[in-house]
Amino acid sequence: MSDIYHFSRGTAPLLISIPHLGSQLPDAQRARMTAVGQQSGDTDWHLDTLYQFADALGASVLGARYSRYVVDLNRPPNDESLYPGQTKTGLCPTHTFRGEALYQHNAALTDDEREHRLQTYWQPYHAKLREELDRIRAEHGTVLLWEAHSIASVLPRLFEGKLPDLNVGTADGASCAPDILDAIAERLPGCGYTSAVNGRFKGGYITRHYGSPAEDIHAVQLEMCQSTYMDESYPYGYQANAAAKVIPVVEGMVRAALAQTLARKR
C-alpha cells in the first residue's frame, strides 16, 4: 500500500489512471493556503465511484491520493506548456482554475519546494504507472491506458463558453491506434451527451508521454464535464441520478476501446 496512490491490480490489458482523484494536502502546505485552496476545488471528484465498473472489466486502477494543488501528475516534470498560447495551470499551481490565489498573501513557491513535491509525489505515481504498463504489456502483448478526468463545465479563465460533456483526447491521433479511437467515437453520436474528439482537450502529459501505438501501448484521455454527474460547486456532491445516466455511456466507450485493443492482437 502506498501513501501516494491507490492501486488495484486487474486481469485485463486495461489500466485506468485517475491522476487528479486525490484531495489530500500535506499539513505544512495546508497551513499556508487560503480557504479556497484548502477545499482542493479542482479535484476530479468521485471518479473512483463513477468508474466502479472497472472491476467487471478486469481493469487495473491507479488513483492519486494527493491534490493536484500539491503537484499536477498530468503535467511534464519540466513544467512546459501542453497548450502553448493558452492559460497554463502549472506543475505546482498557485491559483485555482478560476484564478483565485491558493496561498495566503499570494506567496510564491521556491524551486526547492517544487523539486521536493516532484520527487515525493510525482515520481512515485509515474514509476507505478510505468511499472504497470510494462507488466500488462508483457503479460498480454498490448495495453490500453485510459486516462480518467473531469472538470467544471464553465471556466472562463481556461476556455470560452461551456465545454462539451465528453472530451476524448489522443494527442491528435498519436497516442493510440486509429481503429481504437474509431471504436470510441462510434459510441458518441446519439449517446445523449455533447462530445468532442481531440478538441480543447487532446490529452495531457500522461496520454502524450506513455501512449505509443508502435509499442502496443494505446492511451486515451476522457475529460468529462462534472455537470454530468455531480455538483460543480462546494461541497461538490455526487448526483447519483445524473451519474446513473452517464456511467453506461462511459462504460460503453471503455468496453469498445478494450475490445478493439484485444482484437488487434488476434
pLDDT tens digits, residue range 182-224?
A: 999 999 999 999 999 999 999 999 999 999 999 999 999 999 9
Question: CB of 55 within 8 A of CB of 48?
Answer: no
pLDDT higher than 90, residue 165: yes
Question: CB of 147 within 8 A of CB of 64?
Answer: no
Q: How far apart are CA 93 and CA 160, in angstroms?
A: 21
CATH no., domain 5-264: 3.40.630.40
pLDDT tens digits, residue range 235-253?
A: 999 999 999 999 999 999 9
* Amino acid identity for residue 264 in this structure: R
Residue spans of beta strands (DSSP E) within the chain: 5-8, 14-18, 60-64, 143-151, 166-169, 195-197, 217-225
Averaged over 177-182, what is the pLDDT? 98
pLDDT higher than 90, residue 40: yes
Q: What is the pTM of this model?
A: 0.97
Q: What is the chain's length?
A: 266
Q: What is the pLDDT of residue 46?
A: 98
pLDDT higher than 80, residue 266: no
pLDDT tens digits, residue range 83-94?
A: 887 888 899 999
pLDDT higher than 80, residue 178: yes
